[in-house]
Amino acid sequence: MKKKGIIALAIILTILVIDQIIKIYIKTHFYLHESYEVTSWFYLAFTENNGMAFGVELFDKFLLTSFRIIAVAFFTYILVKYIRKDLVTMGFTIVMSMIIAGAMGNIFDCVFYGKLFTDSHGQVAQWADPANGIMGYGEWFRGLVVDMFYFPLFHFNWPDWFPHTREIIDWGWISFTWPSWAPTCDREFVFFSPVFNFADAAISVGVFLMLVCFPKSFLSLLNDNEEQQK
């Protein structure tokens, strides 16, 4: 039991430290949308987003960040509780710790970066220093998440018979605008196009392993927790 707790804490702290070191380096050495080619299939490309999947903005940023903090606190509570009761395996502990750490890494950006750093548009950000008039670009809980890893593993152009972006398609009795997310002949297809960070990688790997290796363990913990609350 003690060993699992130590390993969980070590994983969370290690991921958080690595994630923040990379983000702070990018933030203080790159201007927004600057990229550096490491290899033909790997770039460091500095982008920022509001932290939601695909950059969708559906909720107020303060509420979104607050909800994330509550969710991470809840899953951390579950993990600690069941480690103490020795009801989880070492593998599950490791995977859950990866997911929690990744979520914490992006939450840190949202909570603090708006106040810690100046704007990155057209310039390399500085550490904010309000005493000397150097202000952050945002408010507490409204910072942007820093992304930098870009892996365009391969790319190609779709055939000319594919529709153009936003082209009006008329199929006799039905007419519609070709969606922007669909393949088009005037836009290159790139795999893998999303830009992500170390925290995102920890979450993605953790969720994948959770679904493949420990789906029953995760669901049983949630169901057991719900039964105890009734």
* Catalytic site residue from 109, 129, 160, 200: 200
* Catalytic site residue from 19, 60, 147, 224: 147
Residue corresponding to tokens 């920022």: 48
- 147 is known as an active-site residue: yes
Given a contact cutoff of 8 angstroms between Cβ atoms, the answer to whether 153 and 41 are in contact is yes
With CA atoms as reference, report the closest residue to 63 among 134, 8, 141, 117.
141
- 86 is known as an active-site residue: no
Q: What b/e sequence results for 102-116 when a residue is b if at least 16 CB atoms lie within 10 Å of its CB, and e otherwise?
A: bbbbbbbbbbebbbb
Residue corresponding to tokens 């480690």: 83
Would you tell me how many other CB atoms lie within 10 Å of the CB of residue 226? 9
The pair of three-digit structure tokens given for residue 155, joined into one six-digit string: 């790319």
Given a contact cutoff of 8 angstroms between Cβ atoms, the answer to whether 161 and 209 are in contact is no
Sort strands 145-150 and 195-196 into parallel, antiparallel or unpaired.
Answer: antiparallel
Task: Fill in the DSSP letter of residue 52.
Answer: S
With CA atoms as reference, report the closest residue to 105 among 204, 179, 208, 182.
204
| Residues making up the chain, counted from first to last | 230
Catalytic residues: 147, 200
